[in-house]
Amino acid sequence: MVKVCLYFQVHQPYRLRNYTVFDIGNTSNYFDDEKNANVLKRVARKCYLPANQVIMELLEKHPEFRASFSMSGTVLEQMERHSPEALESFKSLVRTKRVELLDETYFHSLAFIYSKNEFKEQVRLHNQKMQKLFGYKPRVFRNTELIYNNEMAGFIEKMGYDGVLAEGADHILGWRSPNFVYKPKSANRLKLLLKNYKLSDDIAFRFSERSWQEWPLTADKFSSWISAVNGNGVCVNLFMDYETFGEHQWDETGIFEFLRHMPGEILKHKDNSFRTPSELVKEHEPAGELDIHNMISWADVERDISAWTGNSMQQAAISELYRLESEIKASKDNSLLEDWRRLQTSDNFYYMCTKWFSDGDVHKYFNPYESPYDAFISFMNIINDIKIRVKRCQTTKNKNKDD
């Protein structure tokens, strides 16, 4: 019996505008509202709406079908503003009770690595947003970009979650298979679900790659690969960006037709079925314990955190940002706190990555910058403005105290 677990990541950041050194101290308008609105509307039209429609059809057609989503707070806010119809279609999926929502950090941040305190607050904010928008209380957690290690699992267990998602990277698994439920070394009852990156990436990255020997990927071919797992595993976790459908892989590639037919083909085999992460966690005892000390993620071939923290610009930008935490929080200035949090979105650091820059690749997706160097300059200029605002808050407070 193979249980297929579909999980889709839905996220859009608040992209920064081109903020120059001459703006520092003069304007605290950091975000490119026009570009963000345009991107959101475009993604809603090309991906969220048509893909949700297909998912809904599948739910109606196959009683066994399940899907799960994790949506960042930043994409939800932008949907509320620019595409209420997309948000509504997600809500109708959730109402079927066969679609699960996961928690993550509200700002799609790297907070776990830099501030546990901030991490906790952002996870809570996200949980509240899920309850408010969907009337749903997630039980399973996925961290930004599937960033994970033992410590994270322990922390998340203490926060009360039942399960957590991670990348099934070869260098961690070794001889082991991602097609089982595991237990993190640091946890007692928390369960770990691992991405089957080969089968996930066949859809997310290779689907339209004509040089790939398996191209074109058809629903029945893919379902035969799923069925082949019978006997060697209990689940196949297909984790990917939701933008795979219609954005990374355009409509013209046939990706929506694939999505429409793939579940039916999988269900033709009577031993196959679909599950949400919570269902998997409930139904299976861990097949083993996984000891993952170093941070892993689902990014690039390295599957580590070097895409966000690999060069000295990224390290400087992140440490400057988190250094401001206590002063920002002491300021009690909500707009300052909100801006500071939006700056934490991991995309801001991803844009500064120099690893793949010369080749031009996935890092380019909706990247507003010409180079990682431009990304860094805008970000650091903004940090300088934030510092001025922090100072201003402190001066006003001291003044009030004196009065």
Partner 1 sequence: MKVLMFGWEFPPQSTGGLGTACYGLTKAMSRLGVNITLVLPTTENITHDFVRIIGANVRLKGIKSPIRPYMTETQYSRQYRKSSLYGQSLFDEVYRYSMAAEQIAREEDFDVIHCHDWLTFEAGIRAKSIANKPLIVHVHATEFDRTGGLSLNRHVYDAEKRGMQAADRVIAVSNYTKNKIISHYGIMPEKVSVVHNAVDHDRSQPSEDSGLKKHSKIVLFLGRITLQKGPDYFLYAASKILQIEPNVRFIIAGSGDMEQSIIQKSAELGISDKVLFTGFVSGNDVNRAYSMADVYVMPSVSEPFGITALEAMKNNTPVIISRNSGVSEVISHCLKVDFWDINQLANKIIGVLRYRELSETMKNHAAGEVSRISWSNSAEKCITEYNRALRGENG
Name which position in 53, 218, 311, 367 contacts partner 1 (CB under 8 A). 311
Contacts (Cβ under 8 Å, ≥6 apart) of 43 = 12, 243, 247
CA distance 283 to 266: 20
Minimum CB–partner distance for residue 27 and partner 1 (Å): 13
Considering only 15-23, 42-50, 115-123, 386-394, which stretch makes contact with partner 1 by CB under 8 A?
A: 15-23
Considering only 110-118, 150-158, 166-174, 308-316, which stretch makes contact with partner 1 by CB under 8 A?
A: 308-316
Contacts (Cβ under 8 Å, ≥6 apart) of 75 = 10, 11, 12, 40
Name which position in 20, 232, 326, 396 contacts partner 1 (CB under 8 A). 20
Minimum CB–partner distance for residue 20 and partner 1 (Å): 4
Smaller CB distance to partner 1: residue 380 or 393? 380
Nearest C-alpha neighbor of 203 from the set 256, 244, 251: 244
Q: Is the backbone peptide bond immediately before 13 cis, with ω within 30 degrees of 0?
A: no
Smaller CB distance to partner 1: residue 18 or 224? 18
Considering only 143-151, 206-214, 242-250, 311-319, which stretch makes contact with partner 1 by CB under 8 A?
A: 311-319
CA distance 259 to 238: 12
Residues in 60-89 at the binding interface with partner 1, rule: CB under 8 A: none
Contacts (Cβ under 8 Å, ≥6 apart) of 124 = none
Largest Cα–Cα separation, the chain: 77
Residues in 92-121 at the binding interface with partner 1, rule: CB under 8 A: none
Asked if 315 interacts with partner 1 (CB under 8 A), we say yes
Minimum CB–partner distance for residue 298 and partner 1 (Å): 25
* Tokens 């910058």, residue located: 369
145 has catalytic annotation: yes
CA distance 87 to 105: 19
Q: What are the strands, taking DSSP E only, across 255-390?
A: 272-274, 289-290
Smaller CB distance to partner 1: residue 22 or 175? 22
Alpha-helix residue ranges (DSSP H) falling in 145-276: 150-158, 170-173, 197-204, 219-227, 255-268
Minimum CB–partner distance for residue 213 and partner 1 (Å): 31
Residues in 340-399 at the binding interface with partner 1, rule: CB under 8 A: 354, 357-358, 370-374, 376-377, 380-381
Minimum CB–partner distance for residue 38 and partner 1 (Å): 22
Name which position in 47, 76, 262, 313 contacts partner 1 (CB under 8 A). 313
CA distance 192 to 211: 34
Which position among 100, 104, 118, 145 bears the catalytic label?
A: 145
Smaller CB distance to partner 1: residue 306 or 311? 311
Number of chain positions touching partner 1 (CB under 8 A): 21
Contact of 290 with 185, CB cutoff 8 Å: yes
Smaller CB distance to partner 1: residue 37 or 380? 380
Contacts (Cβ under 8 Å, ≥6 apart) of 231 = none
Smaller CB distance to partner 1: residue 101 or 375? 375
Smaller CB distance to partner 1: residue 35 or 397? 35
| 272: Cα within 13 Å, side-chain hemisphere | 23
- 3: tokens are 């249980």
Considering only 18-26, 119-127, 151-159, 208-216, which stretch makes contact with partner 1 by CB under 8 A?
A: 18-26
Name the β-bridge partners of 21: none
Smaller CB distance to partner 1: residue 25 or 84? 25
Contact of 308 with 353, CB cutoff 8 Å: yes
Considering only 91-99, 143-151, 168-176, 306-314, which stretch makes contact with partner 1 by CB under 8 A?
A: 306-314
Contacts (Cβ under 8 Å, ≥6 apart) of 395 = none
Minimum CB–partner distance for residue 364 and partner 1 (Å): 12
CA distance 269 to 14: 43
Considering only 137-145, 147-155, 244-252, 312-320, which stretch makes contact with partner 1 by CB under 8 A?
A: 312-320
Q: Which residues are catalytic?
A: 145
What is the contact surface with partner 1 in residues (CB under 8 A)? 18, 20-22, 311-313, 315-316, 354, 357-358, 370-374, 376-377, 380-381
